Structure 1
């Protein structure tokens, strides 16, 4: 449902409709809220990827809308997802020249975007991207936990079940060739990466994972950007899942198969190694690329950070958003002293939730 504001000029989207979509936000809604959020020639922080950024489905907590959303949504409310907390932080830091808009899509994978495909929300970002904007990408976790291909299973299980932890911690290395530059990402159930990475990493299988989170993520980002180059692209490596088995969640079977319940440190070591060997090495000509380790923020030790063990809760989303803005605005370094007072932690959830 679309409503007009009291002055009859701005189109408003019904709050419940806006958050009703399981798979991201409807593109029709994104098209309606973007012009309102852009007012004052503000730059966007577009979120793209999967539910590590599109976590709105997993809770009902909401708060008064802010940073332009109070004009875009009716009634003026927002769910406490990652996008909300980014906007909350921007307001607290006095950076209302920026706004965050979620175009990530729950329960999606790199394979969903193979063979040159983009999801409608990805195409929306590419269509509306400007040189002043920023893009935050987090993708690949569901290719392991939700919909792994046979090649992914063949390469991942030995790494987390058999590879010595010391090898992942001290001797991990990989240099898989990039087979996508001349033929693109064909999907093929991971066969390209399997062929490229099977003998190009130590321990065995690591080359495949580096190809998945390195070359394939880069190919997705290039398609997402198209011919345009934003000011910044933040490329995330997934956080550690909740290591507490008591909480339960939809990914329990996958986490159990990966040995996470019995020895969470093994999967955590793999995630760290892939971040260093893949995410940190991604380069895109014409824009600043900032690697961001979500696992430095959500490290699996505090169950309050999670819903269903693998989705950020409002608490976890608030933590991620603060660190994401530090990475985006300051390259991951500590914020300048002049802004330190404005960058305090958000108010307790109980103080703003309704």
Structure 2
């Protein structure tokens, strides 16, 4: 005699199966708007966000950038929330709160969201001289009780070995600095540029940064993979946000101290939109904004379509919709562009992609 499964159980099973499938393919939400990260040399999760944030479904990531690929697969929110890698209530006992082997994930903070940052392997490394500048971005203007920058010892190999506290040497310290003393950016964020010198080093290493924020007992922890060129050079300026791989020259206007920063002239800009991917009922678009023959302080892009638009998610810009128009303005960290420099932002919208009329205004 055949067993007959009641219809209501079949429906429940199908609903559960659909929910599981959707969970696997769920798209990440937009990056958090507060907190901060080491932008240069890029931390592991910020570097992954910069290289793949507007094309996180690209299959070539698996072969071109396998460490970022495994991190995206483990938890996309670790990259989209690239400024949420912190712990609370540590009370300065960093070594007691974070076990060896878990330094890059802050002891698997946020319920293990950033655990993939601890994965051993050949992470993309930023090439630096023996003297370089570390750029720490503070999007929420927390300021710092202190900032400590460490570099791994010459005997440590980040490609083959998990990071331990005993692998680190302290190379630079910044004391109590309210956000008002950091370099002011054009929007909400501020940046601290910290000189670092590691004479005589060459080859691969890791830079480890602890930022103790001032507003609460909130400690941030960042792993940045570097490749020392082995020669000293003048300390470079640090860009607010690189628009290309951290190992190449960023296109954003470099930040310097407030006393030496000349006025940034306004110029023209242009924008081009492309469809990065599409699926049933939605698509992902990437917009490249390029400054003209003069630097710009900020930008605003308007995309005008033939029908009303619905934006579900966006990143690297403040995006609003008004009927058939999508209006975007720069984020805190990518508004300033040097002459000919460019940056990108992206969004996910409902419907079928079409070609919009595009305008860009420099501000």
Give the alignment's TM-score, normalised by structure 2: 0.29
Higher strand share: 2
Higher helix share: 1
Greater relative CO (CA pairs within 8 A, separation 6+) = 1
Give the alignment's TM-score, normalised by structure 1: 0.29
**Over alpha carbons, which structure has the higher Rg?**
2
